[in-house]
Structure 1
Amino acid sequence: MRRAEFFVSEPEKQYVTCVLCPNRCAVKEGRTGVCRVRKNVGGVLHTLNFGEVASYGLDPIEKKPLYHFYPGHEIFSLGTVGCNLHCRFCQNWEIAHGEPSTIRVTPAKIVELARRQNHHCIGIAYTYSEPVVWYEFVYETAVQAREAGLKNVLVTNGFIELEPLEKLLPYVDAMNIDVKAFTDDFYRRMCAGRLDPVRRTVEAAAPRCLVELTTLLVTGENDSPEEIGELASWIAGINPEIPLHLSRYFPNYRLDLPATPLETMRRAREIAARKLSHVYLGNVWDVENGYTYCPRCRKKVIERSGYIIRELHLSAGNRCAHCGYALNIVGEARVTDSGRRPRRGGIL
């Protein structure tokens, strides 16, 4: 165990209050909070998953998904056990809410492993499960990774309090933040969470690092034209060039609604694209929905096929080769080998 950060002792009440995320769990002696990995031991909150890796591998950056951050590169990815939301449709429930086996490592070991990958590996992604509940390990690793010249990426639900977020952000280069829906009702019913803290995270992070957003469209729950329009308007108010990934839902975990109809996905993309420059469809094998177009001349600048980049029409890093417009793309893009596949496992 490792002493956790961001908690308040309440000795007269015989519990400690975790203030890492908006759940603000009141944790009694010997018990854990909602995330299952922060425990009250003798009036001090401890993290149970420091250095405990449940899944790891070398992934295309596009898998996160990040389409505007070093396109065509790879990133060393790892995740732990636990989550501070409880989404009924969780796609990674085996490690988020199950009891997976783990391997214990140190931040220095993770940095070493990331540096040992091929020269197209740009850094470390904290992903697969929720990195917020791994905060202490993520923070220590991110600091060491930055010192080693590596990039740090968070794939997160954004359900975190402002103080820990502000402490971590200086070491984060890119984030994909899940905006589960754009109603508080959905968050409470489907995720046991709230919308406003996630909005706050997006608004705080967007000026500080490359941010892309993902919304899983759940059939009949968060896919109405009105809600998609409100979501797109809010994003556009921050920056209309923030990429939005609309992902197709399939039955999983504790939700067995039918898969999102393809016509619903395409309609949602059309609505969001009225306000946003870059809207992509995920879990939909419609190739053109993964292309990146110049917001000014509307010509194709990146052609993707799944996680593979087949064509680039960029100059000077992020400028449209057709009209010279500077897109919000961070890092040099590269055409990828058609034989590239995500690789999982290895030796820690």
Structure 2
Amino acid sequence: MIEAILKQIKNGGYQCTLCHHNCFLKNGQTGLCRTRKMINNQLMVLNYNQIVALQVDPIEKKPLYHFLPGSQTLSLACWGCNFKCLNCQNFNLSQEEESVTDQAIDVNEVINRAKQLGCLSIAYTYTEPTIFLETALPIMQAAKKNGLFNIWVSNGFFLNNVGN
């Protein structure tokens, strides 16, 4: 676990500033997405580096048709989502913490795997990438430095500060 990077101190607790739910949390409370929890007066990220999916997909599955057509992307996800959609096609990844393994994946390992598999990009997908921002951000920075494109497949419910 690490401390959340997007938050505001407010009335003896923290307000999570990732998405429009704007969860306000005090000690012991967990946000709607279940990935943020107040522990000892710190807003902690419970799904940090807990990758539940890492596989190669055709770029068109993201669904992108005119961006790098015919190429492969390395798709990754951590558990958690800020929505609870009926008939979610990735419910087992987004809502079930039991799918989590204890094996954390290093940033360099993700980049190397993408390159070895001939991927031109890394897609943050299957669950809501905003909810695993602390995991995705260093991977995104390393991907850019290594000439890989980043693809953010989101429900769009994040706040403007996430993109900044």
Pairwise same-fold verdict (TM > 0.5):
yes
Paired with 1:33 and 1:109, the residues of 2 have a C-alpha distance of 30
Query: Aligned-residue CA RMSD in angstroms?
Result: 1.2
Spell out, residue by residue over 1:265-323, the C-alpha distance to the aligned partner (whole angstroms, 9 max, x if none): xxxxxxxxxxxxxxxxxxxxxxxxxxxxxxxxxxxxxxxxxxxxxxxxxxxxxxxxxxx
The structure with higher relative contact order (CA 8 Å, sep 6+) is 2
Choose 1 or 2 for highest CA Rg: 1
Which position in structure 1 is the counterpart of 2:9? 9
Spell out, residue by residue over 1:204-232, the C-alpha distance to the aligned partner (whole angstroms, 9 max, x if none): xxxxxxxxxxxxxxxxxxxxxxxxxxxxx
Paired with 1:126 and 1:83, the residues of 2 have a C-alpha distance of 13
In structure 1, runs of 5+ residues without a counterpart are: 168-348
Which position in structure 2 is the counterpart of 1:101? 100
Paired with 1:51 and 1:106, the residues of 2 have a C-alpha distance of 8
Matches within 5 A, 1:1-348: 1-10=1-10, 13-99=11-97, 100-102=99-101, 103-118=103-118, 121-165=119-163, 167=164
When normalised by structure 1's length, the TM-score is 0.45
Paired with 1:114 and 1:31, the residues of 2 have a C-alpha distance of 37
Q: Contact between 2:50 and 2:100, CA under 8 Å: does it hold in 1?
A: no
- For the residue of structure 2 that corresponds to 1:142, the secondary structure is helix
Paired with 2:137 and 2:159, the residues of 1 have a C-alpha distance of 15
Paired with 2:159 and 2:123, the residues of 1 have a C-alpha distance of 21
Paired with 2:93 and 2:155, the residues of 1 have a C-alpha distance of 15
Task: Tell me the CA shift for residue 8 of structure 1.
Answer: 1.3
Q: Percent identity?
A: 36
Paired with 1:137 and 1:101, the residues of 2 have a C-alpha distance of 14
Q: Contact between 1:31 and 1:39, CA under 8 Å: does it hold in 2?
A: yes
Specify the code of the residue in structure 2 equivalent to 1:158. G
Spell out, residue by residue over 1:69-125, the C-alpha distance to the aligned partner (whole angstroms, 9 max, x if none): 11111011111100011112311111111121233112222112111113xx10211
Aligned length: 162
Q: Contact between 2:52 and 2:93, CA under 8 Å: does it hold in 1?
A: yes
In structure 2, runs of 5+ residues without a counterpart are: none
Divergent runs of 4+, >4 A = none
When normalised by structure 2's length, the TM-score is 0.93
Specify the code of the residue in structure 2 equivalent to 1:94. N
